Amino acid sequence: MNQKESAQTLSLEVPPQIGRCVKCQTEIFASHPYAWCTSCNEPIPYGVNMQRRPIMYGTIKVTPGSSLFTETAKRGRN
């Protein structure tokens, strides 16, 4: 089951499609979490990559100011 089918099954809003992989033509949605195609590992074109918004669709991002970053850093020092 692909991302579009999963979202439709769960009655969720499907993130917009922002492009396709140049090599294998796999659909790339705004929620895509990587800078490469997960089907063929081809890098996503720069313009498409800049349109990705994985944080808006549930991907966790740890930044230096976040509490998760601080907790992780403290554990690493022990």
Q: What is the pLDDT of residues 4-54, one digit of tens each?
A: 565 555 555 778 899 999 999 999 998 898 999 999 999 999 999 999 887
Give the confidence band of 59 by pLDDT, cuts at 50, 70, 90.
Answer: very low
Q: Could you state, in order of their start, the residue ranges of all structural domains in the chain? A: 3-77
Is the pTM of the predicted complex or chain greater than 0.75?
no
Q: How far is it, in rounded angstroms, from Cα 54 to Cα 69?
A: 18
Question: How much is the pLDDT for 67?
Answer: 53
Question: How much is the pLDDT for 72?
Answer: 46
Question: How much is the pLDDT for 58?
Answer: 56
Q: How far is it, in rounded angstroms, from Cα 61 to Cα 22?
A: 27
